[in-house]
Structure 1
Amino acid sequence: MTKRLSGAPRPSRSVAGARRPVPANESAAPVALRLVASVIAPTTVLTALLFYYGRLHAQSLTRQLRVQFTVLDFSFQDYVVRSADGLFTPLVAVAVVGLVCLWVARSITARWTPTQRRTVLRVWAPTASVLGLALLAAAWIAGSSRDLFRDRPEFGGLCLALGVLCLSTAGSAARRGFGRPRERTGEAGPAVGAIAKWTLAFLLVSAGLFWAVNDYAARVGTARGMEVAARLPTEPDVVLYSDKNLNLQVPGARSTFCAAVPDPAGFRYRYEGLKLVLQSGGQYLLLPATWNQIDGVSLVVPRGSGMRLEFSAPGRPPLPSC
């Protein structure tokens, strides 16, 4: 059995499993993002957001048609389904921009030397600071007055989200690019202060995105209402039959009382020149074919067994009245 010589060096311990100190500002952002996601991700929160954006969409659409949306009694499912119209574009835009930024960052920074990275960080730190302050100023003005982004009100929320991101990354870039000391916590992970900073930053970014999508969903609902008004001439004509007099005395609608030869089903009253826009909560939203957004009259008629709707191609000559 051989003995180790007293002067021989001891075998070095394996350091493969040893953890190196983690820079706080490099690992705090993912931890903060997970904390924010743990609050936003639950199904109840996402469902509430879908309901809220769908309600905004429906409210803006019916307001454009001169109708109070509450009388239509939209269901929870109606609001959730309508939210897709206002959320599809923002979600796709955020996902595409995020993927492009990640791909560009990985592709470019992988070829940089440490010196080049420090140079880029030194340039980005003041640039991002100025850009972030400018974006926050624009968001402040947009929040105080709607005149700045009159046609695109969602830009105010985007300015808030991007401004916070620019300022947050500017601080990290300054510490790394100018060689400022970093806080290291060893096995304990990132510092609590760094996690708190990034958590608050992500909350402000979420608030900015909520603001942006809020205004975008409302604008989409208004645009859909304008599209409904523009498409009225091409929508199917509707003849409403009723067993009771509904007294629909509105411009563009023609009413006929069938006294001599009543309808076999007992529908004595006939109303022509109408277009069905939507149906919800046991209500019909009808517009005259000549309806306009200036002085047009919208009709909300309760659905019941004493009514019947008859559809025909637009512009087709009406059938005999009785």
Structure 2
Amino acid sequence: MSHPPAEQSTTGSAFDGFTQVAKSVGQVVAPTTLLTALLFFFGWNHVYRFFYYFGVDSTTLDPSIREYLMRTVDALFVPLIVVGLLCMAVLWGYTALPNSVRERRPAWWINALITVLAVAVLLNGVSRVFVVTALNDGLCVAPVSIIIGVLALWALIVQRRNRLRGQLPETTPPRSQAAAVTEWAILFAVIGISLFWIAADYSIAVAQSRASEWAAQLPTSSQVVIYSEKDLHLSRSDVQKTRCDTDPAAGSAYRFRYDGLVPLTRIGDHYVLVPRTWTPGNGAAIVLPASPPGAIRFEFRLAGDSPSSTC
């Protein structure tokens, strides 16, 4: 007559399968690679939306990976601090609760209420894929709703699973490892995709905010005077072109001067400039290659320092 082994575990753990899934993901995508991909995705959206505000397609500027990643530094301080403080508040708050409160089993109606709220929040986030409403259209509302809803339901399922297992005989076999691995694989996928969604939404919002702030400072920003050997054909009413009357015998490299421009940035192998009179919907950004045909010189001046009227 056979007997079940006495040492067999029947309790199981909420994190059964987590190690196996994490190890499998780590073998395919290293954690640093995944983080770099997330930061790159954030930087790409930031760069694209920032220059799109000025009417420039950033893909034509050929930014480097370093320039994409550097764009993330400007925007990640606030969300990292907020997430860190929230995690500390949850951990410390739970620890500060009396033992009588932490060990008390929630009433059934509390679990039912949490379930309804979690499902509602989850559906609100998922609905953003199909339709835009006032409840899911805010900054990062949809992906954050999905994460909160999924984690809340997972916690309720774990609580329910443990309660049912406590009612089963000790000889009951533990939960299937395949089911645990599948559950964690789905959690990894849903939360991972939601994190990329958050990165996209937040980077776009930051880029548009930075571009709007920069455009508002145009009247007081430093200006740049361009001296060029060849005519750059910047023949706009808000860019003043002056032909320099230079003595051919002097061998001067610069025959044209352009005033009224403000430097936006240098990215890739290009300079991006806009007229000082630029406004959304009125004005064009100017992209110059860093190595244009012929000699070129930039002369930077403060907003109140007007250049000479002649070359």
TM-score of the superposition, structure 1-length normalised? 0.81
* Alpha-carbon spacing, 1:299–1:80, altered in 2? closer, same or farther (3 Å): same
CA distances 1:7-26 after superposition (whole Å, capped 9, x unpaired): xxxxxxxxxxx978362244
Aligned to 2:11: 23
Give the conservation status (yes or no) of the 8 Å contact 1:36–1:199.
no
Deviation at 1:165, TM superposition (A): 0.7
Aligned to 1:275: 262
Rounded Cα–Cα distance in structure 1 between residues aligned with 2:24 and 2:187: 10
Matched, 1:252 2:238: yes
Deviation at 1:250, TM superposition (A): 1.8
Deviation at 1:89, TM superposition (A): 3.2
- Secondary structure of the residue aligned to 1:284 is strand
Q: Alignment partner for residue 211 of structure 1, among 197, 204, 209? A: 197
* Alpha-carbon spacing, 1:190–1:208, altered in 2? closer, same or farther (3 Å): same
Aligned to 1:297: 284
Structure 2, unaligned runs of 5 or more: 1-5
CA distances 1:251-273 after superposition (whole Å, capped 9, x unpaired): 31101001255897421100001
Aligned to 1:167: 153
Aligned to 1:241: 227
Which segment drifts farther, 43-52 or 276-285? 43-52
What is the percent sequence identity of the aligned residues?
29
Which segment drifts farther, 246-255 or 56-65? 246-255
Aligned length: 302
Deviation at 1:186, TM superposition (A): 10
* Alpha-carbon spacing, 1:275–1:22, altered in 2? closer, same or farther (3 Å): farther
Structure 1, unaligned runs of 5 or more: 1-17
Matched, 1:137 2:106: no
- Secondary structure of the residue aligned to 1:309 is strand
Q: Alignment partner for residue 101 of structure 2, among 112, 115, 123? A: 112
Matched, 1:226 2:212: yes
Aligned to 2:253: 266
Rounded Cα–Cα distance in structure 1 between residues aligned with 2:147 and 2:65: 30
Q: CA RMSD in A?
A: 3.1
* Alpha-carbon spacing, 1:111–1:35, altered in 2? closer, same or farther (3 Å): farther
Aligned to 2:59: 70
Rounded Cα–Cα distance in structure 2 between residues aligned with 1:300 and 1:183: 74
Aligned to 1:12: none
Between Structure 1 and Structure 2, whose CA radius of gyration is higher? 1
Deviation at 1:218, TM superposition (A): 1.5
Deviation at 1:172, TM superposition (A): 1.9
CA distances 1:232-290 after superposition (whole Å, capped 9, x unpaired): 12211110000001110123110100125589742110000100001122211010000
- Secondary structure of the residue aligned to 1:292 is coil
2:33 is aligned with what amino acid? T
Which segment drifts farther, 91-100 or 36-45? 36-45
Rounded Cα–Cα distance in structure 1 between residues aligned with 2:153 and 2:279: 48
Give the conservation status (yes or no) of the 8 Å contact 1:236–1:275.
yes
* Alpha-carbon spacing, 1:292–1:113, altered in 2? closer, same or farther (3 Å): closer
Which segment drifts farther, 176-185 or 206-215? 176-185
Rounded Cα–Cα distance in structure 1 between residues aligned with 2:13 and 2:143: 26
